[in-house]
Each structure stands twice: as structure tokens, then as C-alpha cells.
Structure 1
């Protein structure tokens, strides 16, 4: 990737209008994604067939005329997807050169068992090989997820410290990391956990060198605009929201109240899509989903904060 392309992509991710499509289901989340798409676990055997089917789903989404850079700023890919093609072009190259969509790569390898109210990321033993390979594919940035399940000050501090340690390794390779310390939306002390998370993130961001920027992907907050200090932080390229178990309508409504945040939806993006739909019905359903998420990301509601719906 040339420096000129990097600059164009960085500007797009900083100021562009649209959202990020999270197409990075992997491992344990893939059977559920396929089931929601109308392909039940009993209809395939083994991981290889499962990943072939999920790639067919992703290919149908990405190659749909509804999916393009006029509303979709970027897409997050699973590692195996990065090594495959959309049509006759490598996946990341197709996204950027055909669709005008910036490619990101999910790099975490899943979660440790819960401790101190959180789940840290498992070690990533092949990271030093993976990151240069991602650069070679034209990947712009990475995404790594950990989970917060309680308002535990020690646990949240550990999650954020791990996220920034990994982000440092990503930045060294010239890639832009998306930090994803997801707060489980169903916990009773969600609002308190979000306050602790915000404080910990700001402290770490203030320590970053002036020439480094990251992105942050967060659960939709209990209090609208809680994360506005992150949106305005000079070390933050973009704050993006995950749907976290809400329906698309619920997630869109909550996101519309958070000024400066854009969506990075996965399940909410694919809601309503089916392997059994005709191409016309599939494209129409996807177009409606993309439009609603685009509007929630770009047309903000100035009204009072809403009470989050129960996922």
C-alpha cells in the first residue's frame, strides 16, 4: 500500500460519512451466524465446510450492488477471509479497489476465562507473522476484542492495558488498531462499568505519542454521548459502536443519540438476510439494512437519551 493510499484511507476513516461492516465472525460465532442466515448446523460437517459457507455469505454481501463505499466506509475481515477472494480478486483488494471500502482485519484469537469480572484476550502467538502479511494484503487496520462483564476497576484496567499493549505492536507495523473492550449490555452495573472504562481509556490515550491514533469500538452506552470525550480526543481517529445483542432497530435508535459515533455492526447488519432469498430479495433486504445503519451513523437525534432496550 502506498503512502498516498494510506492518507486517503486515513482521511476516509477520520471524516467520511458511513459505517463499518463487521464481517469477521469466526470460530464459535460462525454456527450462530449461519443459523441466522438459514443454514442449520446439521446441514454441513466440519470446520472447512462451515467456513466455506460463511465465506459464500460474506461474498454475497460484499458483491451485492447495495454494498459500496458511498455508505460503507470499511469492513472488518476474519483472517481466513483475508486469504480468500471476492470474485476474482483478493478480498482486501476487492474491497478497496472495486468497492471503495477500507479493509480491516480481526486479529484476536478469542477470550480467556472470566477473572475480575472481565475476559482478557488469549495470547496471539502468530502475531509477528500475521501483521506483515496483513500489510501485504493492503489491510489498513486491525480489530481486537475483549469483554467486560462487571464494573470491576481492576478488571477493566487490565482489559484496557492489554488493549493498548496490543495496539502498540499494531502501530509499529503502520496499521491502525481498533480497540474493542466490549461491555456486556445485559449486566446490572453497565453504567458504572462504562464510567470506569471511559476513565481508563482516557488515561491510556493521553500517554500515546502525538503522531499515533487509534480507533475505539464500544457497546452503545447507557447514557447518550458518554463517550464524547473519546470522539473529541486527538489520538482517536474514530469511535464506533457495536450492536451488542440489540436488534437493528434498537441499535440504530440508540446510536442516533451518540454524536460523532458511527456503527460497526455485525449481526444487526445481516439481520433478515437468508441463504434462501432470491438475489433481488437479498439485495433489497441488505440495501434497507445498510440505509438504516447509515442514517443512524450520520443523522443524529438531538433529543434526550433513551432508556436502552433489553436485548
Structure 2
């Protein structure tokens, strides 16, 4: 593990950018960026276009390590290059810590939750992540209802994979998202907090995790988790909130920083001039940073 990167993630001021849209969500991400499906042919060209988008973001002067602590990458992005360097090396050379999305998507809804699909090639992915100088990983589940057995299954699955990731020298971001539109969201968050706490208490002193959670309905619901000695950092997903709404909710929570995707890149468009693009990205970076470091 890179101790300098660990210290930056644990103690640095800023937020984590999520640029990890996967194969299923890529067409929508490109369409939102102004690249419709009829602008490319086949999967290879689609991934070429999304890498162009991500490269433009990462190489923008607005994408600055003074405000951005780390970046979550899609597996294909890890294997591609930016300005002659593998993406993670380019980020690290610019003092931004690289993470990798390792989950394979969501299973069907059962017991009020969606578990992760099995990650059959996790061992091989982690080996390649280490070769590419990745610092940590991210994997996502979704909670729709306050079903105690379902939520327990989500958390147990996440920590089981997390321990395998830790054993390979990486820091896992455990992401049991609570659907922001679900009924009884606050109750789900209370159950989730307690289940996470149980699993944290079972970790050894050498086992550390990060948490990526929906911004809670009740401010500071996750404060106890953020203060736990086995937690490197707690970050928040925007989860479908607008950037302004997500930022306002984020400001109400101590020890919670952003890890936004759509809320970060919503105003970016392929047809913008470099000046327009950089100005839009700079505004997004500035306001998300402010919400991450300045609390009410």
C-alpha cells in the first residue's frame, strides 16, 4: 500500500470523483454528454468515445489535486492510457489517488435489496489492479426497503469481498447504496449503520475500509462510522439528487465528503469549447469541494 496515498485519502481536504460508468450505463452517460448512440458503431467505438470523455475531464486544468483526492475508474479505463501513461499512473503522477470499480453489476431485487452479482474473477482483477498501481476498489449494492435480513445480506457480502481485497493490499470502498426514492429511507439507514458497525468491529487492526453511502435523511446518521478506527473515510454518492440538492444535504453531515458522478459531470458536453468545458467543470469541482469541506 502507498502510505502517501493512504494519508491523502484519510486526512486530505477535498472529494473523490467517480468516473466509473460501466458498460450498461455508458450509452446514457455518452448521450448526456452530447454523444448519441448513432454517433458510434459497436462496443469498441463506444468505449473509445467514453475514454475520450474521461480523458478530457482528467486532463482539464479544473481537475486539480488541490480539490480532488481520488478518482474511481472503470476497468477498461484502467487498461487505457492518457498522454502515454496508464490512467492510474497519470492520476498518481498528478497527486490524485486511483480506485477501480470491481463489481459486475446488480442481481435481481430480493428481500428488498439488490446484492452484487458474483465477482468470479475478483482475484485476477485485483492482481491486475496491483500491476496498474491502483490504490483501492469500489463495489456497489442497492437497498430499496428496510428489510433487516436483506440489508444484513448486502453488508455481509460487501465485507466478505472487502476482506479479499484487503488481503491483496488494496483498500475497498464498500458501497451499500440506499435508494433515495425508497419508502422508509431513514429506517433503512439505521439498520444499515448498525450492520456496518457489527462488521467493522470484527475487523483486525490491519484491516481498513472506506464506505460510500447515500446522503442520510437524518444528518450525521453515519458519524459513528466515520469515527470508527477501521474506517479510512466515508464518502457520499449523489444518488440521483441534483448537484445543488446533494451539496446542501452533504453540508449538514460532519465527516462526510462527496464521491459524485452525475452531479460532477452533468454540465459537460462534447460540443463545448475547451474554455466552456473547463469553466463548467471548474464550477462543479468548486461547489462540490465547498460542500465537502465546509459544514453547517
TM-score band by shorter chain is: over 0.9
Match of 1:124 among 116, 119, 128: 119
**Residue correspondence of structure 1 range 1-311 to structure 2 within 5 A:** 6-97=2-93, 99-301=94-296
SS in 1 for 2:69: strand
CA distances 1:275-298 after superposition (whole Å, capped 9, x unpaired): 000000000000000000000000
CA distances 1:148-197 after superposition (whole Å, capped 9, x unpaired): 01110000000000000000000000000000000000011111100000
CA displacement at 1:30 relative to structure 2: 0.9
User: TM-score if structure 1 supplies the norm length?
Assistant: 0.94
SS in 2 for 1:157: helix
SS in 1 for 2:259: strand
**Bigger mean CA deviation after superposition, 102-111 or 30-39:** 30-39
* RMSD over equivalenced CA pairs, Å: 0.7
Using the alignment, how far apart are the partners of 1:64 and 1:133 within structure 2? 27
Moved over 4 A (4+): none
Using the alignment, how far apart are the partners of 1:169 and 1:280 within structure 2? 44
CA distances 1:103-147 after superposition (whole Å, capped 9, x unpaired): 000000001111000010111111111101101111000000011
Q: Which ranges of structure 2 fall in alignment gaps of 5 or more residues? A: none
Using the alignment, how far apart are the partners of 1:220 and 1:47 within structure 2? 34
CA displacement at 1:43 relative to structure 2: 2.0
SS in 2 for 1:221: coil
CA displacement at 1:42 relative to structure 2: 2.3
CA displacement at 1:198 relative to structure 2: 0.3
SS in 2 for 1:125: coil
**Bigger mean CA deviation after superposition, 42-51 or 222-231:** 42-51
Using the alignment, how far apart are the partners of 2:9 and 2:246 within structure 1? 21
